[in-house]
Structure 1
Amino acid sequence: MVGAKKKAHYVVQVGSKGRVVLPAEVREALGLREGERLLSTVEPEGTVRVEPLRKAVEEVYGLFRNVAPGVSLVEELIRERREEARREELA
């Protein structure tokens, strides 16, 4: 767990509407706030991993950080789309 010093186990119960309440210790270790979105992953062996969605997004952005240093991929995409639109207008 993020922020956890060692591996910890907690028993939780599934409610009638499929809801699970995370213990305060888990919410604290993950730095969760009310209303925060979580990403849950079911592994092939049946284990379930739960992490803050923001953490997963940060990891994905981190993978692409060095792909084009100094270049905004968003600006590059917009530029390409504008060029395509110009070519279509001329055709």
Structure 2
Amino acid sequence: MATPVVESLFITLKRGMAGVRHQHVRIVKAIGLTYRQQTVERTNTPAMRGAVAKIPHLLTLETNLQRAARLAAQAEARKLRPPVIVKHA
């Protein structure tokens, strides 16, 4: 069975830019992030992976496959469950 291809990366900025080196701020802006908890979708290229590798303490990285699995699990958790019926004696 062939391994699935990772086509896109979902990058989330987890920390603010206060007190961060100027070079790191430039990398975050080049990725396209401007505020905390913002998520952007970028293509999976060596250049993008290199930019993310320079500042892993500021970012969270998900592949398209990981994101789909996480969103499916969240949807399953939010599904309505049958009500609990309690019979009193």
Does TM, scored on the shorter chain, surpass 0.5? no
Q: TM-score, normalised by structure 2?
A: 0.31
* CA radius of gyration, larger in: 1
If asked which structure has higher relative contact order (CA below 8 Å, sep 6+), I would say 2
